[in-house]
Amino acid sequence: MAAARAASLASAYLVATNELMNEWRRRLSEGARPRADAAAWALIDELPAHPIITAPVAAAATRRSKAAIHQAMIQLAECGVLEPLSASKRNRSWEVAGLLPLLESLEAGRAPGDRR
């Protein structure tokens, strides 16, 4: 029974994460409209693994240059995908919009959106 519940939760988390990624892509395409090969698109693919992210982590995850990642993070912040965790421009960390609540529900043993 526990294994079935864990599999069900994992499946619901994956569905919710994919929906969230599609929302991020929609926001980016409607907002910044970067080129098809822009770092912002590659970064979206990496965000589910990094609910809190920094530019060095983003650069390592995407294998893109610092300049490309800087531009990507600005674009993603402007369309509400990344939220800065401090006002400082140096060594800034960003929270990925909507991801921490999904992780919290998974850790609590609830399906995404389940308020129990």
Nearest-10 crossing angle of helices 2-30, 66-78: 90
Residue 113 lies in a domain: no
Mean pLDDT of the chain: 89
Report the pLDDT value the prediction gives residue 91, as an integer from 0 to 100.
81
Residue ranges making up the domain that contains 9: 2-107
Q: How many CA atoms lie within 13 A of 105 on its CB side?
A: 20
Residue 18 lies in a domain: yes
CA distance 47 to 97: 10
Supply the DSSP symbol for 86.
S
Residue 64 lies in a domain: yes
Residue 14 lies in a domain: yes
Strand order in the sheet with 82-84: 52-54, 93-96, 82-84
Report the pLDDT value the prediction gives residue 115, as an integer from 0 to 100.
59
Residue 19 has pLDDT above 90, yes or no: yes
Interior CA angle at 89 toward 84 and 92, to 5°? 50
Residue 112 lies in a domain: no
**pTM of the predicted protein model:** 0.84
* pLDDT tens by residue, 40-86: 999 999 999 999 999 999 999 999 999 999 999 999 999 999 999 98
CATH of the domain at 17: 1.10.10.10
Residue 76 lies in a domain: yes
Phi, psi (5° rounding) for residue 51?
-65, -25
Residue 115 lies in a domain: no
How far is CA 91 from each of CA 33, 37, 46, 104, rounded to the nearest angstrom? Answer: 26, 26, 19, 26
Q: What is the mean pLDDT of residues 1-19?
A: 85
Query: Structurally, how many domains does the chain consist of?
Result: 1
Residue 62 lies in a domain: yes
Residue whose tokens read 């979206």: 44
